[in-house]
């Protein structure tokens, strides 16, 4: 019998925690406005997109520079042989 009571108390504790989080979010939104929350999410989303863009740019730029570096050396040697 005590096991059933503790299980029910655990459910109540979980529901209390969810209610407390939702209440805190609601009071934050009421005090500061939901627009500020939307702006914060927008800024964070923009930062994530910018970081992904920079990462992709660097990942593709490094192999491109390596190809150009080695191609330049080969082309320089080829031009020297053709002109001589």
Tokens of 55: 């990462």
- Write down the residue that tokens 């992709």 correspond to: 56
Asked if residues 69 and 60 have their Cβ atoms less than 8 Å apart, the reply is no
pTM: predicted TM-score of the whole model, two decimal places? 0.46
Q: pLDDT tens digits, the chain, 84 residues: what are they? A: 444 444 455 555 556 677 777 777 777 666 666 677 777 788 888 999 999 999 999 999 988 888 888 888 888 888 889 988
Domain ranges for the chain, please list them: 1-32, 34-84
């Amino acid at each position: 019998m005590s096991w059933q009571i503790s299980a029910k108390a655990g459910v109540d504790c979980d529901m209390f925690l969810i209610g407390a989080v939702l209440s805190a979010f609601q009071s934050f939104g009421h005090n500061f406005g939901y627009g500020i929350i939307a702006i914060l999410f927008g800024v964070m989303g923009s930062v994530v997109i910018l970081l992904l863009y920079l990462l992709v740019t660097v990942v593709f730029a490094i192999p491109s520079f390596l190809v150009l570096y080695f191609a330049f050396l080969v082309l320089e040697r080829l031009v020297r042989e053709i002109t001589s």
